[in-house]
Chains A and B, each alone.
Chain A
Amino acid sequence: MTGHDFTPDEMMAIAASRALSNTDVCFVGIGPPSAACNIARLTHAPDITLIYESGTIGTAPDVLPLSIGDGELCDTALTTVSVTEMFRYWLQGGKITVGFLGAAQIDRFANINTTVVGDYENPTVRLPGGGGAPEIASSSQEIYITMKQSKRGFVEKLDFFTSFGHGEGGDHRERMGIATKGPTLLITDLAIWKPDPVTKELTVVSLHPGTTKERVQQTVSWAVRFSDDLQETPAPTEEELSVLRALKARTAAAHAGNRVETA
């Protein structure tokens, strides 16, 4: 299959948006999660509650924020609380149904590294760090992850455990005393993955249109498991694509130079 009129990035954002429902209370991470959550809000989930860690609750931005604290988020929010209240009452208090995270590195059990590449004391690359993610990962009722596939990102062994997914698999989360479900979905530019119900190893359940098993394996450092009931992700609809492209266009215009011409 060739000749698709959408990009892998567009497929990723749209597939991720479909995972969200109208009744979700979603804690939105920066980057790809932000696009997915706002497409959901602008298409099939108009009543979704989007929450950003800057304290904005029930926000409905017209353009994608560059940071998690852009004024746009506050201007369109139902209410804005302090960052301490956000983390203590809303996240730790168990009010978040879905935490939506990105990652620099992920392993087969959906553990995430956003801290360092290489050794912590002498890193090859010092990444930004965990930010809100370590507690989003343990306190949200479940976690969706979205990131592009690459051998550098899909690693056999993490350089650093920033946010706990399913640990070493199986019942590791329960043994750690973590009561929430953890990662239940990974959406990439090539496929949709879900943890195996027993082993918790990420398993490919759906290939995006035009993607092959070989292509998926080429971008992952471990031997990939595919579901016996492997599906094909439905291609983006006209509506999904037009909403996403309009959102991206508004965002690009807003961030290219947001100065107002003054006479």
Chain B
Amino acid sequence: MAEFLSLKDAVKKYLKSGDMAAFEGFTHLIPHAAAHEVIRQGIDELTIVRMTPDLIYDQLIGMGLVKKMIFSYAGNPGVGLLRRVRDSIENGWPRSIEIEEHSHAALANAYEAGAAGLPCAVFRGYLGTELQRVNPNIRSVTCPFTGEELAAVPSIRPDVAFIHALKADRKGNVLIEGIVGVQKEAVLAATHSIVTVEEVVDELDTHMNACILLHWTVSAICEVPGGAHPSYAQGYYGRDNKTYIDWDPIAADREKFQAWMEEHVLKQGPDVFAGRIKGLEVTS
């Protein structure tokens, strides 16, 4: 049953050290504000799941809060590599992490299986790839009807799913539009979910086939305008591509990274995000 909380209180209430957390949003609606709150609270030993780790996992890993990462594409889209992730994997700085690497198809299927209450996902995939050699969680099953050998991976059932959405109504029903990614699946698969939204409104004012998370599927709703920045929110503000490009040299240097995190994350609060989208607003 959705409860309206501050982001600080929601994170404090639902996420604890050692949990499995999924922060989802496929390029669009990435829950940056929520990840920054987790960093500020220093909740550690996390197993983090995300199809496309992006800057938020570069930051969580660079701050030493992660024990294990489950992922399928660890890049800064269109820019290059994730340098904090690389430093951790290649040099063990600030610590070594365990990685469980999949393909997008596998993780999309695994979230769906989690939402469907199944123990595993079955799909046609991993044909001829080497990923099954390095990931014991990639296995196979034989179709009982045709004999076809299909890939199987465990479903994803996070302790806490974090997503950012466009809006919630006063009951706590949540609307996602645009590139909807795997957020619905991640929330329905998780034990608890924390949803940051651009705004809380009287009426969602949408269409009959809209992607809506019912209020009783969500644990906490936190109003954080701009909470996806430098990712974007369809109809509210555009992707801040320049910030994505500018991240690369910051993340490339350990001291620069730490100074940046100190200045822009540790010393700030969720309110700072509203200012970060100035000039990026959708005007139409």
B255 touches A (CB below 8 Å): no
- Contact (Cβ within 8 A) A69 B242: no
Shortest Cβ distance from residue B157 to the other chain A in the assembled complex, whole angstroms: 16
Instruction: For B115, give the chain A residue with the smallest CB separation.
Output: A84
B149 interfacial by beta-carbon distance below 8 Å: yes
Selected from B123, B149, B241, the residue in CB contact (under 8 A) with A258 is B241
Given contacts A128-B75, A133-B103, 14 further A-B contacts (CB under 8 A): A54-B26, A55-B26, A82-B180, A84-B111, A88-B109, A115-B131, A132-B103, A134-B103, A162-B129, A178-B128, A256-B242, A258-B239, A260-B279, A262-B278
Number of interface residues of A (CB under 8 A): 64
Give Cα A76–Cα B126 distance, bound, in whole angstroms: 32
Is A198 part of the contact surface with B, judged by Cβ < 8 Å? Answer: no
B6 interface residue, CB < 8 Å from A?
no
Tell me, in angstroms, the Cα distance from A52 to B124 when the chains sit together: 19
Of B112, B129, B211, which contacts A163 at CB under 8 A? Answer: B129
Encoded as 1 (CB less than 8 Å from any B CB) or 0, chain A from 180 to 191 comes to 000000000000
A78-118 interface code vs B (CB 8 A; 1 in, 0 out):
00111110111001100000000000000000010001000
> Quick check: which of A37-45, A119-127, A213-221, A241-249 contacts chain B, the rest being far away?
A119-127
Which of A88, A127, A162, A258 lies in contact with B238, CB distance below 8 A?
A258
Interface Cβ pair total, 8 Å cutoff? 205
Q: B28, B71, B82: which contacts A69 (Cβ < 8 A)?
A: B28
Residues 3-56 of A contacting B (Cβ, < 8 Å): 30-31, 53-56
A261: chain B residues within 8 A (beta carbon):
279
Is A129 a contact of B182 with CB atoms below 8 Å?
A: no
Check B178 against A125 for contact (C-beta < 8 Å). no
Query: Is the C-beta of A135 less than 8 angstroms from some C-beta in chain B?
Result: yes
A212 at interface (Cβ–Cβ under 8 A)?
no
Interface string of A201-213 (1 = CB under 8 A from B): 0000000000000
For the complex, give the distance between the alpha carbons of A177 and B126 in Å. 12
In the docked arrangement, what's the CA distance between A124 and B86, Å? 10
Nearest CB of A to B90, in Å: 6
Pick the residue among B104, B105, B184, B240 that contacts A82 (CB under 8 A): B184
Using CB atoms, name the residue of chain A closest to B24.
A83
Query: In whole Å, how far is A262's beta carbon from the nearest beta carbon of chain B?
Result: 6
How long is the Cα–Cα vector from A141 to B87 in the complex, in angstroms? 38
Q: Assess whether A65 is interfacial by the CB under 8 Å rule.
A: yes
Cβ-based interface call for B201 (8 A): no
Interface string of A157-185 (1 = CB under 8 A from B): 00011111001000001001110000000
Q: Does B4 contact A (CB under 8 A)?
A: no
B14 within 8 A of A: no
- How far does the Cβ of B230 sit from chain A's closest Cβ, in whole Å? 11
- Complex contact B279–A131 (CB within 8 A): no
